[in-house]
Structure 1
């Protein structure tokens, strides 16, 4: 019995050490965002003044608005295209590894490589960089993740229902609207939430495709510009808000994925 407990305790200690390594720095950041003095070395009391300071910072509010616009636009487009891509790939009669690799390539290509490739593409076409180019870039990045989530649901979908609907006289649009779409709705919503989370957190691709000027700066870019002069309490508060939003959306996405599992 003791020989069984020893590996179990060791595994628990290793797991605890890994979680501590990952989340203790985040916990410290969140704690310091409520420190009245704003100093990382001395706790002088609980305060929300740094969050109030964010509300009065025009640069941060502008970056937050840009992030929301980019996130919602990229999510909407990538959700539609990713869902259609998933249906098309899953219903193909002939499966090919090349097509599969192309569909999932944006997920595995390093962000810096994808960012440079997109910048080169926009520059070669003489396209002015700004929020539209960030949206297009995020769509390419998010589309693969939506495709993966929706295809996971399609793996367990009985396509004989679709064939029965067609045999009974329903058109393609009616079959999609009344049978396929309701069955895929949880996965589509989960994929959209995941795409939104990835979009509001993404920095490298946005940095390369935003162009010059402050008109297209997003929140991650704003945080980067602020920490170049040192970590301030406002940065801690802003990072805490972004992290909280991302964690909330990601948990909802995971819950939807769990609910749709057979």
Structure 2
């Protein structure tokens, strides 16, 4: 039974990752036709980074992702800490609402955000992209940090209070250090979600706010070329690295060091 499950899992992983490997492989193909391998080359990557439109799209994606990550992490952390103070039943009900932006299809989320911005008469651009990305990212931050807070319990905070710590000292020296790996993991996940988003960005972007996924989509409409393969490979590589780092920090616990509390 164990061997059968291992084989099944291996086939699933191959099914998921072989297309990405092929895409990356053909980004080094010395031919504009993906159907035939003509030799190894790096000139598609050189041409790619000499393309001003690609650089602009990359800078837009990085700017939007960085601002989104900073805002969503701060707001999500405060929300998770606030929810943690409620009783279990109330916390469960309020936390359930956090799953709505995750469960709602992206196309509906994008359309609803477009309608809101239209009613507010906001011009579509980087600002609306950032607002939309923050909106769907906060839920991921709250859910990740709420789970970490639940695993921590309240024993350490109560012990700190018994030792004479103020609420601010308890947060600074007890809660925050224990929560920090989760905060870093949530911020990396938020950055990944933002830089990878296409559907919601498609609805709320405007002139001068084209992101990398949107630029890839515009290129694909003219046909799949090695430049698209190269650009997609770079994007996939960035996402994989960020997800690995996010998982590393998510599973990282406290370092186990012991010492006198600084209060």
- Relative to the length of structure 1, the TM-score reads 0.91
Task: Give structure 1 stretches of 5+ with no counterpart.
Answer: 1-6
CA–CA separation in structure 2 for the residues paired with 1:254 and 1:94: 27
1:255 to 242, 248, 254: 248
CA RMSD of aligned residues (A): 1.7
State the 1:156 CA deviation: 1.7
Task: Give structure 2 stretches of 5+ with no counterpart.
Answer: 257-263
Q: Hey, which bits of structure 1, 4+ residues long, moved more than 4 A?
A: none
| Residues 1:109 and 2:120 aligned together | no
State how 1:21-100 maps to structure 2 within 5 Å. 21-93=15-87, 95-96=89-90, 97-100=92-95
1:221 to 178, 201, 214: 214
State the 1:242 CA deviation: 0.4
| Residues 1:232 and 2:225 aligned together | yes
Aligned to 2:9, what secondary structure does the other structure show? Answer: helix
State the 1:107 CA deviation: 1.2
| Residues 1:139 and 2:117 aligned together | no
State the 1:30 CA deviation: 0.4
Aligned to 1:198, what secondary structure does the other structure show? Answer: helix
State how 1:134-173 maps to structure 2 within 5 Å. 134-173=129-168
CA–CA separation in structure 1 for the residues paired with 2:28 and 2:42: 6
State the 1:169 CA deviation: 4.2
- The CA deviation string for residues 60-117 of structure 1, in whole angstroms up to 9 with x for no partner, is 1000000000000000011011111111112212523542221221111110111111
1:19 to 13, 20, 44: 13
